[in-house]
Amino acid sequence: MQDKQAVIEALERSPRIIIPLVKEVPEAVLRRRPAPKKWSAHEHACHLSRVHPLFFDRLDLMLRDPKPRITPYNPAADEPEDALLKMDLGACLDRFARDRETLVGRLKGLKPADWERAAEHPEYKRYTMFIMFRHLALHDMLHAYRIEELLLKPEWD
């Protein structure tokens, strides 16, 4: 059974978990990468603000097109390697919170049938509106977990 309300609540809660977590990370650690080509806490946080336009576009596409095709997003291939490091963290966190509020408002307005709308996605055998936004909620927590790992890394004390 698909619990749309649980997904909406998870998405609504994410900024209240992630933003304070990011603010806990000491300045000396914030931009520090754990290994070459691995993201810092700053990059994980900024990335979260960058994905909303993608999901707004996908939502619009799936609502208007009877046979939508989703284009995969790969930030490592689609952006310069240091793009996220150059972003203003405070502005990104503000944008994440604002865009998430807008997204949650839109999701609350969806009809039950909208959640079942399907799209072709080359990386998945099945991709519905429900899967897409459950994926986003899980994506939030994956990046939050990575930020917390970096925050708590003992060898950085």
In the chain, what are the domain boundaries?
Answer: 4-156
Answer whether residue 98 shows pLDDT above 70. yes
The rounded mean pLDDT for the chain is 94
Confidence of residue 78 (pLDDT cuts 50, 70, 90): low
Q: Please list the residues that pair with 120 across neighbouring strands.
A: 69
The fold of 4-156 is: Four Helix Bundle (Hemerythrin (Met), subunit A) (1.20.120)
Residue 2's alpha-carbon distances to 115, 126, 142, in angstroms, are: 9, 14, 21
From CA 31, how far away is CA 26, in angstroms rounded?
10
Answer whether residue 1 shows pLDDT above 60. no
- Here the tokens at position 154 are 């003992």
- Here the tokens at position 61 are 């596409």
Mean pLDDT, residues 85-107:
97
- The predicted structure's pLDDT at residue 118: 96
Q: What percent of the chain has pLDDT over 70?
A: 97
Residue with tokens 């939508």: 68
Phi, psi of 69, rounded to the nearest 5 degrees:
-120, 125
- Report the predicted TM-score, pTM, of the whole model to 2 decimal places: 0.93
